[in-house]
Structure formats: C-alpha cells, structure tokens
Amino acid sequence: MCRFVIYKGTSPVQLSHLLTRPCHSIINQAFDSRLRLDHRRPINGDGFGVGWYDSVQDEELGNQPCMFTSVTPAWNNANLIRLAEKIKSPLVFGHVRATTTGSLSLDNCHPFVCGKLMFMHNGGIADFHLIKRRLQADLSDDIFNVVQGNTDSECAFALLLSKLPDPKAKSFTTRTLQQAMLDTIATLNRYAEEAGIIEPSLMNFCITDGESVIATRYISSRHDEAASLWFSSGTTFSEYAEGGHYKMSKADKRENIIMIASEPLTFEKADWMEIRTNNMVVITPKMNLLQIPIVDKFYVSPSDPAALNRDTDFAAAKGLLSPRKALAPVQPRDNAPQLSI
C-alpha cells in the first residue's frame, strides 16, 4: 500500500531533507519499505504527491497549499528532485502510492486539497464499493463535486469535509478538525455495519489546515493491528554522516520539529516512537503534541492484555505492516485525555 510523511516545524525545512536526501526518505521507502511485506504491490510506484504551505503569507497568492503530483515513480522523477532542492516550508505532506483501488491517474494521487485543507490516507476502507453510493448520497452538491478521482481515500476526505461547519472557512480550530475526524471515522464504521461488512478498515488519516495537524492510527477491529505509524520530535533534524544518515537532535525541551510517518525516516531507534493503535495524534499551532485514544467499540485500553496481542497478519497481508511481536505493556496515566465517538 502507501507511505506518507508529515513535517511541521517552527522554521521551514528544505523539502530535500524529507523527500530525497535521507537514506530512508519517503522516496526510498517507495521501493525499499522496511515495515511492509506486500506481495500484491511490492513497491510504491503508482505515483506520488507532495503538498506544502508557503513560509511567508501573501494575500495575493492566498493561503491554499501548493501541490506537486505525478503518476511516475517518485524515485525516477527529475522534477521532484530539482524542486525539493529549492523549496522550503514549515508544513509538508508527502505521499507515495501503491494502488490497489482506483486507477493510475493524477486525480488519485495524494494529498487531496480543498481550500486551505490538505488530506492523506494510508490504508483501505473495506468493501468500499458496498458503501460508496451511501457515502456519496450524504454529501452536499458542493462537496460531492470536490471529488475528482475514484479512490476510497478521496471519498473519505469528502466525508470529512461534510462534517465541518464550513469546509472553505479561512480558519479552523484544532478542536473543529479533531471532531470532524472523529465523526468521519464513526460514520464510516456505521456504513460498514449497516452494509454487513466484516473485514476491518484501515484508517490512517491525516488532515491539516496549515496550522494544526490531526493524524490517526486506526483499525475497525479489537483484535487486529493497524497500519504502522510513528512520530519523532526534537530541535533539529540533520545529516550527521555521509550517505544520507540523518538523526533528530534534542537540545532542550522545546519541540521545534514534529514528524509523523508510516515508517521512520532514520535508522536511529531513539528518534522514533510508535503511535498506539486507535489513537489520534494532534499537533497544535503552538507545536504541542498530544496522543489521544479514540474510544469506541474497537478501542482496547493499553492496560488490557488484549491490547498487547493484536494480530499483525491482517495489516501485513495488506502490505501495511510487518509481522512482529506484541507491544510491551503500557500503563496509561489516570488523567490521560480520551475521545469518544
């Protein structure tokens, strides 16, 4: 399946430091993924996309994100390599695609954009053909016409837009985006239940308005593991050895950089932490990082032994996770925030 990376920083980053230079950059993950074993699509060669926001606000240009997408393999696109060396941004979305649903076209390349909002998905909505008409019927005409491609991912984005009070607003609160994400997941689960769909859906979603970032690691199952998702934070992200060997440095307690990725961009184990299954990660405009459980019928508390033994076979068969041992026990804080849907 797909891979994605998110960067948010207090200072702009040169895109090449995320996309091309690291030895395990998202471009290299396109053909050398370490956390997926997908025999259907062994490489992510069905197009790519990168979206970013200008570091300087210009009223004439507007606040919409810039986009560059292509149906060529990311590692073989000279224009991407050239652009990555000349563009800096404080907020970047990058995505490489291995299609299993939807045709190979520019319209199906992530990220998807509406106004100042940008959205990506890694995973798949189970038996989407059984709920597609139902989903589309619940959209307003304006939002229905936002959809240009034929993927489950873009339809999920449209559904999320329908949960916002005004999807083309000039600004959104972090809480508004959080609630829209929760409502989207709950609605997709309801559609699946009404259609009698048994197979779990893998919903690693992420959305940003250029200020806040909301990402989920989610599966509609109490027993199966979700697609992989990691985060890293620190003060600097830089190359420490030739050959594209990068690391995240922490000079103090400040979070100048936060990255979320399907796979770590470095081989430094201390740099990355795995996001817990059925959790939401929130990056606020002030660079606060929150990891919040999504409490619904598929949520299993980390203190429950079942949470430590989720089966990796389903996600591994989809090419979204390598089989591995169960996670170590985690005792949640008594005051840890939770979200219910």
Whichever domain contains 17, its CATH number is: 3.60.20.10
- Mean pLDDT within 197-205: 97
> Would you call the peptide bond into 111 cis, given omega within 30 degrees of 0 as the criterion?
yes
Q: Look up the domain containing 11 and give its range.
A: 3-340
Where residue 340 falls among pLDDT bands split at 50, 70, 90? low
- Please compute, for residue 27, the number of CA atoms within 13 A of its CA located in the half-sphere on the CB side: 22
pLDDT in the model for residue 40: 44
pLDDT in the model for residue 332: 45
Q: Determine what percent of the chain is predicted with pLDDT higher than 70.
A: 85
The answer to whether residue 196 scores a pLDDT higher than 60 is yes
* CA 118 from centroid of its chain's CA atoms: 11
How far, in Å, CA of 227 to CA of 252, rounded? 31
- Mean pLDDT within 71-87: 84
Q: What is the per-residue burial (b if ≥16 Cβ within 10 Å, else e) of 1-28? A: bbbbbbbbbeebbbbbbbbbbbebbbbb
The answer to whether residue 101 scores a pLDDT higher than 70 is no
Catalytic residue check, 114: no
The answer to whether residue 38 scores a pLDDT higher than 50 is no
Q: How many domains does the chain have?
A: 1
Whether residue 341 contacts residue 186, with contact meaning beta carbons closer than 8 Å, is answered with yes
**Which of the residues 2, 109, 114, 206 is marked catalytic?**
2
